[in-house]
A and B are shown apart, each in its own frame.
Chain A
Amino acid sequence: MMRSALSRRILGAVVIAICAFLILPTLAVVPVSFTKTEFIIFPPKGLSLQWYDVFFNHPAWRNATLTSIAVATAAAICSTAIGTLAAFGLNRLTGPMARAVIWLLLLPMLVPTIVLAVAFFSGLARLGVVGTKAGLVVAHTILTLPFVVINVSASIQKLDWRMVAAARSLGADPITAFRKIALPAVLPGVLAGAVFAFLTSFDEVVVALFISGVDAVTLPVQMWNGIRFEISPAVAASSSILLLLSVAFLSVGAMLLRGSGRNAAEMRSR
């Protein structure tokens, strides 16, 4: 179809325009972050690293970054552990039971974030952990669980269980067979899940806005304040750094997933 050169050229131009629409707003933050002015102007005037200086040295920005790193690391570790176990459990189920458990495990991805935020807010208030890092870790562990389950499940489905059975018949006990055969085979999926869980927690805005309080301000919350209340170019500097982080993580995630034959594209909540 669409054999004629003209229609193919029109299609190409349209696709290039749409790709520009996708990519340009993402990249627009980079030039602005080097501005000398106190305000955002385009094209930026002068060239300076002052907003990166603010990002790395101003206490509010530095603390927010450190909080985000701590919360995302803890949440990624918890959800990777819990999600990996759950993926192995899910793999043992069939039929309606499997469907029900899939729904349950995907729920944090399906429920609108604003509803999650309200529910976490009231749920964690009862535990007295609203406004603490612990509360954020619990909430983000749940929020990132589906990414781990999806990635690990994909590797498990590719796993050749006959190899595990062979190890068993050669005398390995179940735990050894699992540790030596199954675990190394699914490791890329586990690591990819951990990477995506970290990035999801590190980027998360809405739930953090509701439950971070004043003591657990994360980087996205700090950026939110910066965008809503001052429009400072420091937001552009921090945006550029987050962009760099996304590129790095996406590359690592894609590399890990290539091993398990999956596409980094397929999962992402809003």
Chain B
Amino acid sequence: MLRLHRGGIATLALLAPAVVLLAAVLIWPVLELASRSFRDPGGPFVLYARVIEVSTYLQVLLRTVTFAIATAAICLVLGYPVAFKLATARPLAKALILACVLLPFWTNLLVRSYGWILILNPRGILNSGLMDIGLISSPLDIVYNAIGVLVGMSHIMLPFAILPLYAVMTRLDPQLANAARTLGAGPLHTFLKVYFPMTLPGVMAGVLLVFTISLGFFVVPAILGGPRGLLLAQLIEFNINTSLNWGMAATLSTLLLSATLLLYAIADRWLNLGSIWGLNR
């Protein structure tokens, strides 16, 4: 099974520090956390049963999945035209769009969430602007609730949808779409029958990535959401810091982790996870 090149010892020595560190401080505590979720005095699956029985827990799980689906859908709809433009634009326009995508991508999560508070709050940029031009008479209720969370999550996840789409689109041969047009297909038909199917791997990668990461959001809902309408990650934090219920925190963490790893495994099988990050071989 261990088919190492010659110099297998050297390979092991190179990998050892990383493997030991990951095993001791990441994998071991994660496994212990997972085992904790099965160690309730009442029986191994008591805590999991409680997640389903107690309506608050179930509501949070369903809400989290709903928000992740909505975020993935929004990011696909907003990301597709940007990726298309990026793949077809001239160098200057391309550089400008790329800057607009990458700057937020590499800007602190808190800075971006705080920026949204500045824009969306009742006396913020958007509301005061709309009231000044007389479009609305009282401020819109668009932050510290589900709308604020969805706006913030979509904003943060959008680059994750754009980049895989862009990667697929740059590899496409534009002549194929042109050929369809020359042979008489209309623009919409060409798009639906020729162009869009060719970009499906990028669509799948982007949607899967956005959905998966969205399941674990903590900072954005905590800042832009209301006191009600918690998401899964906030419920885990609440169980640790407020109700000191480590068993339930472990159970919810295990559910989140299993779902995440399962989705990445699916992504890996279909789309080759390594290639998303350029580690293909």
Taking CB atoms and an 8 Å cut-off, the chain A residues in 89-120 that contact chain B are 89-90, 92-95, 97-99, 101-108, 110-116, 118-120
Q: Mark B80-122, 1 if CB is under 8 A from A, else 0.
A: 0110110000000000111011111111111111111111010
Q: Is residue B43 within 8 Å, beta carbon to beta carbon, of the partner chain?
A: no
| Interface residue SS majority, chain A | helix
Residue in B closest to A99 when the chains form the complex, CB atoms: B274
Instruction: Specify which chain B residues have a CB less than 8 angstroms from the CB of A146 in the assembled complex.
Output: 277
18 contacts between A and B (CB under 8 A): A1-B180, A2-B187, A3-B181, A11-B85, A82-B17, A82-B18, A86-B18, A88-B14, A93-B5, A105-B22, A106-B277, A112-B260, A119-B29, A142-B26, A199-B106, A242-B111, A246-B106, A265-B163
Nearest to B125 among chain A residues (CB) is A42
Given contacts A29-B111, A243-B111, A264-B102, contact A112 B278 (CB under 8 A): no
| Contact residues, B153-191 vs A (CB, 8 A) | 155-156, 158-159, 163, 174, 177-178, 180-181, 187, 190-191
B201 near A: Cβ within 8 Å?
no
A residues in contact with B257, CB < 8 Å: 111-112, 115
Chain B's closest residue to A24 (CB) is B119
A18, A124, A150, A239: the one within 8 Å of B108 (CB) = A239
Known: A15-B81, A22-B101, A270-B156. A119 touches B30 (CB 8 A): yes
Partner of A122, one of B10, B33, B187: B33
B18:A83 contact, CB within 8 angstroms: yes
Inter-subunit contact B108/A242 (CB<8 Å): yes
19 more A-B residue pairs beyond the given contacts A1-B195, A105-B22, A120-B26, with a C-beta to C-beta distance below 8 A: A18-B82, A19-B100, A22-B100, A25-B104, A25-B116, A26-B112, A103-B268, A105-B18, A106-B274, A113-B216, A115-B33, A118-B249, A122-B29, A123-B24, A235-B114, A236-B118, A239-B111, A264-B102, A270-B109
B interface secondary structure, majority: helix
Q: How many residues of B contact A (CB 8 A)?
A: 100
A28 touches B115 (CB 8 A): yes
Name the B residues within 8 Å of A123 (CB-CB): 24-26, 28-29, 32
- For the complex formed, measure the closest distance between the CB of A74 and the CB atoms of chain B, giving whole angstroms: 14
Are A145's CB and B18's CB within 8 A? yes
Chain B residues, CB < 8 A from A166: none
Chain A residues with CB under 8 Å of chain B are 1-4, 7, 11-12, 14-15, 18-19, 21-29, 32, 40-42, 81-83, 85-86, 88-90, 92-95, 97-99, 101-108, 110-116, 118-124, 138-139, 141-142, 145-146, 149-150, 153-154, 199, 203, 205-206, 210, 220, 223-224, 227-228, 231, 235-236, 239, 242-243, 246-247, 249-250, 262, 264-268, 270
Residues of chain B lying within 8 A (CB to CB) of residue A210: 240
For the complex, is B211 an interface residue (Cβ under 8 Å from A)?
no
A44–B158 Cα distance when bound, in Å, is: 29
Instruction: Kindly list chain B residues whose C-beta atoms are within 8 Å of the C-beta of A106.
Output: 273-274, 277, 279
Q: Within 8 Å CB of A250, what residues of B?
A: 102-103, 106
Contacts of B218 in A (CB 8 A): 113-114, 206
Find out whether the CB atom of A23 lies under 8 angstroms from the CB atom of B216: no
Q: Could you tell me if B128 and A270 are in contact, using CB atoms closer than 8 angstroms?
A: no
Bound complex: CA A261 to CA B152 (Å): 32
How close is A38's CB to chain B, nearest CB, in angstroms?
A: 14
Q: Per-residue 0/1 for B12-24: is the Cβ within 8 Å of any A Cβ (1 yes, 0 no)?
A: 1111011101101
List the 4 shortest-distance A-B pairs measured between CB atoms, nearest first.
A112-B216, A89-B14, A123-B29, A25-B115
Residues of A within 8 A of B123 (CB): 41-42
Cα distance A4–B261 in the bound complex, in angstroms = 45
Q: Are B98 and A265 in contact (CB under 8 A)?
A: yes
Given A82-B18, A108-B26, A236-B114: A92 and B7 within 8 A (CB)? yes
